[in-house]
Amino acid sequence: MPLPPDVELIDTHAHLDFSDYDADRDEVVRRAAEHGVRRIINIGSSLRGSVNSVELAKRYPDIYAVVGCHPHDAKDFGADDLARVRALASSDRVVAIGEIGLDYYRNLSAQDLQQALFSSLVRMARELNLPVVIHSRQAADDTLRIAREEKLERAIVHCFSGDGGFLRSCLDMGFYVSFTCNITYKKSQPLRDLVRLVPLDRLCLETDAPYLSPEGFRGKRNEPMHVHTLAQAIAGLRGISFEEVCRVTTQNALRFFSIHV
């Protein structure tokens, strides 16, 4: 299907700093643009990843950076690292703090350390007037508790994987929600049901590349260009046009990350 000339999509969560893209990063960015993905939010999932994310944003005019530390690395994160994230957050084209949060599925760091790191980075985000990109996996109750304790107002829950109760709580707190290409998997009907419940003005699209390639590409590296496939899937689920999904989700992402065009 030919791409409408005015289509504009944003991948709100990708990891193009990963070594998976070292051999062809320029081509990956080009392919994304050819599929209507005009902007990519590159997410720092570690201190090194945050540094690299900032560097990517300097190199590519359509990439923006997010800096932070994934809960997996909470056990290795110290006060000096917190200061380094704060310094990185002042860089041009840094649009959020993330991805931060809690992961009780793998528990690669103790839960109390994850919670302490999450709280400290949320406080930093509020002090810097930046939104937060949340990672929450099998940790809904503590994610919500800390968000409330820290008076978090500007957040997006990435790669949403919770249940309907968690979704309603996130929406009640004013959070945005993003889904990935895993909604295209045959066993993902519960996620597809949740996609229909999110108000359109709170919905964003992401790939989480290099992870979670869409059905038909599973086992292969994901790329931001597949946001196009995700938008088509959501248009079908919501019973609206592909162009409407592109328009609304792009507006949402620009508004959430305070990107002015």
Tens of pLDDT, residues 81-134:
999 999 999 999 999 999 999 999 999 999 999 999 999 999 999 999 999 999
**pLDDT at position 97, please?**
98
State percent of the chain over pLDDT 70.
98
Distance CA 178, CA 63 (A): 18
DSSP3 helix / strand / coil % (the chain, rounded to 5): 50, 15, 35
- Name the average pLDDT for the chain: 96
The Cα–Cα gap between 64 and 130 comes to 13
Helix ranges (H only) for 7-130 are: 25-34, 47-59, 79-89, 111-128
Residues 111-120 pLDDT 10s? 999 999 999 9
Residue whose pair of structure tokens reads 């690395």 in the numeric block: 73
- Residue whose structure tokens are 């917190």: 82
What pLDDT score was predicted for residue 98?
Answer: 98
- The pLDDT-based confidence of 5 (bands split at 50, 70, 90) is low
Q: What is the pLDDT of residue 215?
A: 97
Find out whether 224 and 40 touch, Cβ atoms under 8 Å. Answer: yes
> pLDDT, tens digit, for every residue of 38-63?
999 999 999 999 999 999 999 999 99
Please check the confidence at residue 4 and state whether its pLDDT lies above 70: no
- Identify any residues that bridge with 179 across adjacent strands, giving them in sequence order: 205
The domains of the chain, with CATH numbers, are: 16-256 (3.20.20.140)
- 244: buried, middle or exposed (CB in 10 Å: 19+, 13-18, 0-12)? middle
pLDDT tier for residue 261 given thresholds of 50, 70 and 90: confident
Alpha-carbon distance of 180 to 205, in angstroms, equals 6
What's the CA gap between 174 and 171, in Å, rounded?
5
The pLDDT value given to residue 105: 96
With contact defined as beta carbons under 8 Å apart, do 42 and 57 qualify?
yes
Q: Which residue has the tokens 């985000």?
A: 125
Cα gap 139→158, rounded to integer Å: 13
- pLDDT tens for 223-244 read 999 999 999 999 999 999 999 9
Give mean pLDDT, residues 198-211.
98
**pLDDT at res. 6:** 74
